[in-house]
């Protein structure tokens, strides 16, 4: 095999090129379709002829795009050439590669191929996305571009353990650790996801406009007894419960399918994470690139004593704009120290936290309470039917939120790391190795100055974004002492 031989993707990738071209051209096509279909003086052959020309054009362009997309591997470098009219050449040195990830959707799995994504340091989007390459070719590219990837990292080459076994119970190997999240825990993670409730709010907001839309189209009479919107409080309650259950079930199913089979593997200095039922995704994270560990508990997960764990890394930016890579969807808090020890040894879970004093309570409560009062006053005046008093619920919730912020605030500083605890109705923690801190600063507001308090802000790197963590309303003397300790040189391991 000639290592420098130019190659193309699997021919099925023509389909993905066609889909991309259709997405780029869909708006002009819709404009043409509407302009011809809604006119009486246009012959139907013109419409269907346009559809045929559009279809033929995207097939030809998709085939040419596949043919013009060529890549080859040289010594520690990958070269990619693509473009129909303007020829683009991309050179990716091995030292700049942060991750080589693979996934397989339904189409890829039907043809036995994988999607390959290559990310480099500091990029806001993947440098290379190949929609269809064979598993052997994906592994060849990975071996050429990723440092220190053993053969066990190949799909199907890792030891398997019981789904409910802790990470420390993995079979012995050369620095290999495997942890599989149980399916029941994936279901709990999906059922308690806040994204489900956000979807419910959006759908209910859209539903409230259905009558107006149908009325404007002449398809609905708003005074008819069969109106879509409920007419009584009981009907509204039934609709709300039915919508909640439906969206909750659908959201739980979608997230479960996405995260099913979540497996974490550590091979030397690399973490390999696999997940997905219909679309099997695999991505790698270099332990050296981990900047912080983010632990999150919402209200529901706190009731079950579980938390989600994410990584903040240089290569954390995904297509959805998030800067966190999920390390574990859900894990009991009692098992969290063992998980960090097995997969992120630089992060150590603290056994206790320092907390701000009672003088910090005002700082945590003042801002949310002031904003809520400003919003509640118009409600008190304008809500009809003698229900203006319900606006008082907003300041009450803000007061509770501020008290919870004060109770949950905390920090733990040791020579090699700092842990920040914060949150309101949810609880969040950030475990930050000291040598990962890019910069920090001390902020003192007029209200804090009167009480001798300050806020310490820590910033870690995360690709084009910065991850900021704040320790709010702590004694200024304590903040200055922490800055002095954090400023001292830290010997590299």
Three-class secondary structure of residue 88 per DSSP: strand
Closest CA to 117 of 88, 96, 135, 138: 138
The two tokens of residue 292 are 């912080």
* pLDDT tens-digit series, residues 183-193: 999 999 999 88
Q: Which residue bears the tokens 């001798």?
A: 452
Give the mean model confidence (pLDDT) for residues 233-242.
76
Average pLDDT of the chain to the nearest whole number:
80
Which residues fall within 8 angstroms of residue 51, CB to CB, at 6 or more apart? 33
Q: Which of 10-14, 119-123, 316-320, 434-438 is the least confident region? A: 316-320
* C-alpha–C-alpha distance, residues 456 and 310, integer Å: 23
**C-alpha triplet 94, 95, 96: angle, nearest 5°:** 90
The pLDDT value given to residue 316: 44
C-beta neighbour count of 265 within 10 angstroms: 24
What's the rounded Cα separation, in Å, for the pair 12 and 130?
Answer: 11
What is the average pLDDT across 404-416?
Answer: 93
Better-scored residue on pLDDT, 321 or 2:
2
- The CA–CA distances, whole Å, from 98 to 63, 88, 116, 121 equal 31, 22, 14, 6
pTM of structure: 0.74
Number of CB atoms found within 10 A of residue 308's CB: 21
Question: In the block, which residue shows the tokens 């040791």?
Answer: 414
* pLDDT given at position 182: 94
Instruction: State how far the Cα of 369 lies from the Cα of 377, in Å rounded to an integer.
Output: 12
| Predicted pLDDT at 159 | 41
Looking at residue 195, its pLDDT comes to 63
**Whole-number Å distance between alpha carbons of 108 and 353:** 48
Taking the C-alpha atoms of residue 291 and residue 457, their distance in angstroms, rounded to an integer, is 16
Residue 303 · residue 332 · CB < 8 Å: no
Pairing of strands 465-475, 453-462: antiparallel
Measured CA to CA, the distance from residue 267 to residue 175 in angstroms comes to: 6
| pLDDT at residue 412 in the model | 95
Q: How many CB atoms lie within 10 A of CB 480?
A: 13
Residue 126 DSSP SS3: coil
């Amino acid at each position: 095999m000639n290592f420098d031989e130019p190659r193309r993707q699997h021919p099925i990738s023509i389909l993905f090129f066609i889909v991309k071209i259709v997405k780029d051209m869909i708006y002009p096509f819709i404009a043409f379709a509407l302009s011809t279909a809604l006119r009486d003086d246009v012959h139907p052959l013109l419409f269907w002829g346009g559809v045929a020309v559009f279809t033929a054009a995207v097939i030809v362009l998709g085939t040419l795009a596949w043919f013009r997309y060529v890549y080859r591997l040289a010594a520690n470098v990958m070269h990619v050439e693509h473009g129909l009219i303007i020829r683009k050449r991309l050179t990716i040195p091995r030292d700049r590669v942060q991750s080589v990830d693979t996934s397989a959707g339904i189409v890829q799995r039907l043809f036995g191929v994988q999607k390959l994504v290559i990310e480099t340091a500091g990029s806001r989007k993947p440098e290379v996305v190949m929609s269809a390459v064979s598993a052997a070719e994906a592994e060849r590219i990975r071996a050429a571009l990723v440092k220190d990837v053993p053969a066990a990292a190949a799909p199907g080459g890792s030891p398997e353990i019981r789904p409910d076994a802790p990470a420390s119970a993995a079979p012995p190997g050369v620095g290999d650790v495997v942890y599989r999240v149980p399916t029941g825990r994936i279901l709990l993670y999906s059922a308690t996801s806040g994204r489900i409730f956000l979807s419910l709010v959006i759908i209910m907001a859209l539903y409230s406009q259905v009558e107006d839309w149908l009325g404007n189209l002449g398809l609905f009479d708003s005074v008819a007894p069969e109106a879509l919107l409920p007419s009584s409080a009981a009907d509204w309650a039934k609709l709300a419960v039915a919508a909640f259950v439906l969206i909750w079930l659908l959201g739980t199913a979608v997230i479960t399918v996405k995260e099913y089979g979540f497996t974490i593997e550590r091979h030397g200095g690399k973490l390999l994470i696999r997940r997905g039922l219909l679309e099997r995704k695999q991505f790698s994270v270099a332990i050296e690139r981990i900047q912080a560990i983010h632990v999150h508990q919402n209200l529901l997960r706190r009731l079950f004593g579980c938390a989600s764990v994410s990584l903040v890394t240089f290569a954390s930016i995904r297509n959805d704009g998030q800067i966190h890579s999920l390390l574990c969807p859900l894990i009991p808090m009692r098992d969290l120290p063992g998980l960090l020890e097995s997969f992120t040894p630089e992060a150590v879970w603290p056994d206790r936290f320092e907390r701000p004093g009672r003088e910090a309570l005002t700082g945590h409560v003042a801002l949310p309470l002031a904003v809520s009062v400003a919003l509640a006053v118009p409600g008190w005046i304008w809500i009809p039917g003698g229900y203006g008093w319900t606006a008082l619920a907003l300041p009450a919730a803000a007061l509770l939120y501020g008290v919870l912020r004060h109770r949950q605030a905390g920090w733990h500083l040791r020579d090699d790391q700092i842990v920040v605890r914060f949150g309101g109705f949810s609880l969040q923690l950030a475990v930050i190795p000291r040598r990962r801190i890019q910069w920090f600063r001390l902020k003192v507001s007029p209200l804090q100055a009167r009480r001798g308090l300050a806020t310490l802000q820590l910033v870690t790197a995360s690709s084009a974004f910065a991850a900021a963590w704040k320790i709010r309303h702590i004694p200024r003397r304590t903040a200055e002492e922490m800055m002095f300790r954090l400023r001292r040189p830290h010997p590299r391991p």
